Amino acid sequence: MQTHEIRERFTNHFLAAGHSVVPSASLILEDPDLLFVNAGMVPFKPYFLGQQNPPFPSGKATSIQKCVRTLDIEEVGVTTRHNTFFQMAGNFSFGQYFKEGAITHAWTLLTDPIDQGGYGLDPERLWVTVYLDDDEAAEIWETKIGVPTERIQRLGMEDNYWSMGVPGPCGPCSEIYYDRGPEHGADGGPAVDDTRYMEIWNLVFMGKERGEGTGKDSFEIVGDLPKKNIDTGLGIERVACLLQGVDNVYETDLLRPVIDAAQELTGATYQGDGPDAVRFRVIADHSRTGMMLILDGVTPSNEGRGYILRRLLRRIVRSARLLGATGETLEKLMNVVMDTMTPSYPEIAENRERISRVSVVEERAFLKTLESGTHRFDEAASSILASGSTHFSGEEAFALHDTYGFPIDLTLEMAAEAGLEVDRAAFDAAMSEQRARAKADNKAKKHGHADESVYREWVDNHPTEFIGFSELSADAKVLGLVSHGRSITEAKEGEDVEVILDVSPLYAESGGQLGDRGRIISGTTVLEVNDVQKIGKRLWVHKAKVASGGLDLGQTVTAEVDPDWRHGAKQAHTGTHLIHAALRQVLGPTAVQAGSLNRPGYLRFDFNYTEQLTREQLAEIATIANQAVDDDMPVNTIETSLDEARKLGAMALFGENYGSKVRVVEIGGPFSMELCGGTHVEHSSQIGPIAILGESSVGSGARRIEAYSGMNSFRYFSKEAALAANLATWFKAPTEELPDRVSQLSEKLRDAAKQIASLRREQVLANSGKLLDDAEHVGDFTLLTRRIPDGVTSNNLRALASDLRGNLHGRPAVVVLVSVDGDDKVPFVVSATKEAVDLGVNSGDLVKQLAAHLDGRGGGKPDMAQGSGSNIAGLDDAFASVRADLVSR
């Protein structure tokens, strides 16, 4: 029984029992405790915790939830029962049925005959466990279900009591195990050997409430829940092992094809145990998990979910290389995974190109890392061997890891092959030291400074006095000059220098607002300031170029802000506040700022939100923001304590670290109130018009709005108006009629395209009889291969292939049609009569052969399959491959 059928039977079983079918949630939920959904009940937590009422009229639900657990990535493949990605089928009751209902539902599905919708498992091979004192569950199993007493075992809290690890719902469990036979282990039931006796279903009787405590068994049961709930989970992959007659999850229909593809790519053979077998299993497991993560919007990065994905993808590449692969592997592996998973997750089909692109880009980047690291390893190994030693130092292994991103396990493998022994203890020590340095170095890296110690004296004893909120010019003294990380005493004409002043009116970059531009002058000396950065939150570092004259330490100067720059920056920054307020009005309080960039005339605003905004939402946001501009709201600033600011209702943004005194920017009373240290206009009308340019995704759960402010908005609107005027002239219609005119023209073009397609189809179908004259006899089959005139769509090809197949019924025949559509794509279709299918022909397999020659992909059923490629030059070879296939039968 294929895995997708196992899923369907589970869903149908509980649908028939009155459960609401709930689609799988994304692997990424807004849960601060989880990187990924790791259990089937996670999406239902708010209902079990009483935070929300279940939205299911029956009070019962069922789902097959995507899950990922990555705590022990290194252990993947060592055992053959666990995967990082798995599918947890569950049924849930919220105050409806309890122990007897849950047990009956589970037993019926497991043991009912296959022709009655069940899994057909032998009840004599099923064992159950219950909690130590759960006499009620034991009684149900024995008297209601008929499980012999000797196959009911009682286990303690470690095994048979469930909670979420925190105060809240909990309850005893009953688990169902399948006896795989004496060849898999010792007699005695799951209490003796949980390898022979495989757990397949866990029933949680959630009727109690737990108190504080740690671990699985060191907490107090404080009482009963108001309602008794049921949370059960059946492992789809484990049931697939049993129903497909294989020993482990890697032999099932979802993962074995990936291992087979890995064998083709590497030339190695998957058999038995040992390092090679583990690597094959790593490839299979991680390929599927990586694909599902990319499907749900995760992209490789160096932190959080993206880092987990990067580790998975790189472990695939690394394992394939160790097995003998020499080229790229991820595209083929991902295609195989997508083929196996699409029947259960149809949305994969729409995301194939994106999934493939993300994985290929990551692999190519990592292969460059491996290439450079391998070269460095070879040099080091040669030097060590030439000296007569076999000791590969931990420091050298760490340098490979730190400088080249070379994985330690690959270093260990290559060293062993070269007869060298790596000092792993020294490597681990170096890694620990690096982690200790990471936090200290992080801040310096953000500011682009190799070492901040050069600024320490000024940070501690001479912090900058910023007067830029009220002044655009100030007399100041040069306290320090820095060049290339060193303190200097003078800067000459043409040199770049960092200038530290005792007083400055120039704003230092923070809160998303770029640093001011301006000048530092003294007599004939002029320095153009192109950036201002803040060190230690106390010191302003003016990055400047000496345009004329020279500057000496201790010199008195005048620092001036470029007024046009500041005006534009204030407009953009204040406009960001209006956009934020408008967003929250339209989308609700969950749309919180996650980052911003403000420069004169332009703003970029990132916010946490999981869905693309509609045109109507964007228009409403723009209207609210510009209405706030037109209302000429006063912009006030208040300096107060953080606690007082919070009492006022001011928003603190995305994890900023605020001091004891904060600056609250309030616009129009309740319209907007945020903690912000930036520069702002005095009245909202001074922002000028705000032109929203668009909205896009910047990662999983994060969106971005870009907009112009002030004169940039005016220029943008003017350009748009000129474009509309030109179109109005071309269409000879008023601008307000343009949408209708464009729509009418588009409709006419679509109709014309449909008519052309219809005429082509009719023409091709009219000539279908003549096409049969070209059929040839290949072995026991009739074969028709034909390139159809260009411009015929895939739908028309399919209709023609179906028509031709109908004319060939009664004999084993195969029809192969190929065309080139208007977008230079190469659609192709394979159709086989029933007689051909009975002789073993599979159109889906033949389509994949065509795809290999036409640089495309495809799939389908045995009697009809289709695909699309991009290389018509491979047509002759594609047809030849089909002929060869039929001849061989």
Q: Which residues fall in the annotated binding site for Zn(2+)?
A: 573, 577, 676, 680
What's the rounded Cα separation, in Å, for the pair 323 and 321? 5
Strands (E) located in 332-399:
391-392
CB 549 within 8 A of CB 523: yes
CB 548 within 8 A of CB 536: no
What's the rounded Cα separation, in Å, for the pair 171 and 99? 11
CB 173 within 8 A of CB 205: yes
CB 225 within 8 A of CB 209: yes
What's the rounded Cα separation, in Å, for the pair 884 and 465? 83
Taking phi over 0 as left and psi of -120 to 50 as alpha, with beta for the rest, 342 belongs to alpha
For the annotated binding site, the residues are 573, 577, 676, 680
Q: What is the per-residue burial (b if ≥16 Cβ within 10 Å, else e) of 270-286? A: beeeeebbbbbbbbbbb
Question: For residue 511, what are the contacts with CB-CB under 8 A and spacing of at least 6?
Answer: 573, 596, 656, 676, 677, 678
- Give the pair of three-digit tokens for residue 648: 């006022």
What's the rounded Cα separation, in Å, for the pair 243 and 107? 16
Of 833, 818, 828, the C-alpha closest to 865 is 828
Per the document, the length of the chain is 889
Residue that is written with structure tokens 């052309």 in the block: 756
Beta carbons within 10 angstroms of residue 216's beta carbon: 14
What order do you get walking across the sheet with 672-675 strand by strand?
635-641, 661-667, 672-675
What's the rounded Cα separation, in Å, for the pair 853 and 883? 14
DSSP 407-444: -HHHHHHHHHHTT-EE-HHHHHHHHHHHHHHHHHHHHH
Beta carbons within 10 angstroms of residue 205's beta carbon: 26
* Full 3-state SS string of 227-262: EEEEEEEEEHHHHHHHHCCCCCHHHCCCCHHHHHHH
What's the rounded Cα separation, in Å, for the pair 254 and 252? 5
**Which sign, positive or negative, has the C-alpha torsion 879, 883, 888, 889?**
positive
Of 832, 886, 820, the C-alpha closest to 856 is 820
Burial of 199 by CB count in 10 Å (0-12 exposed, 13-18 middle, 19+ buried)?
middle
* Full 3-state SS string of 304-315: HHHHHHHHHHHH
What's the rounded Cα separation, in Å, for the pair 439 and 467? 32
Measured distance between the N- and C-terminal CA atoms of the chain, rounded to whole angstroms? 27
Residue that is written with structure tokens 């912000």 in the block: 676
What's the rounded Cα separation, in Å, for the pair 756 and 748? 12
Helix (H) or strand (E) holding 500: strand 496-501
CB 586 within 8 A of CB 621: yes
Of 60, 105, 65, the C-alpha closest to 85 is 65
Chain Cα centroid distance, residue 503 = 47
- C-alpha dihedral, 848 to 853 to 857 to 860, nearest 10°: -30
What phi and psi values does residue 407 have, to the nearest 5 degrees?
-65, 140
Would you give the DSSP letter of residue 609? -
CB 839 within 8 A of CB 780: yes
